[in-house]
Amino acid sequence: MTAVAEHPAQELDLGHPVRSFTAVLIAIALVLVVVQWTGVANPRISPTNHSATYLAAPAQTFSIQVRNDAPVAVEVTGLAWPTSNMASKEVGIVPTADGPEDPLTSVLQPFEPFTLDGGETTWLGLRVLPECSATIGEPTIEVRTRSGLHHEVVIAQGGGTEIGEAC
Report yes or no on 124 lying in a domain.
yes
Q: Is 167 exposed, middle or buried (0-12, 13-18, 19+ CB in 10 A)?
A: exposed
CATH number where 119 lies: 2.60.40
What confidence score (pLDDT) does residue 33 get? Answer: 85
What confidence score (pLDDT) does residue 77 get? Answer: 93
Q: Where are the beta strands (DSSP E) in the chain?
A: 45-52, 60-68, 74-80, 83-93, 109-110, 114-116, 121-136, 140-144, 150-154, 161-163
* Block mean pLDDT (10 aa), the chain, length 167: 58 72 91 79 80 66 86 90 85 72 66 90 86 83 86 76 68
What confidence score (pLDDT) does residue 133 get? Answer: 77
Report yes or no on 67 lying in a domain.
yes
What confidence score (pLDDT) does residue 135 get? Answer: 82
The domain of 135 spans 45-163
What confidence score (pLDDT) does residue 157 get? Answer: 65
Report yes or no on 3 lying in a domain.
no
**How many domains does one find in the chain?**
1
pTM of the complete model = 0.69
CA–CA distance, 110 with 146 (Å, rounded to integer) = 24
What confidence score (pLDDT) does residue 28 get? Answer: 93
User: In which element (H, E) is residue 37 found?
Assistant: helix 17-38
Report yes or no on 33 lying in a domain.
no
Q: Which of 163, 157, 140, 19 is closest to 86 using CA atoms? A: 163
CA–CA distance, 83 with 98 (Å, rounded to integer) = 26
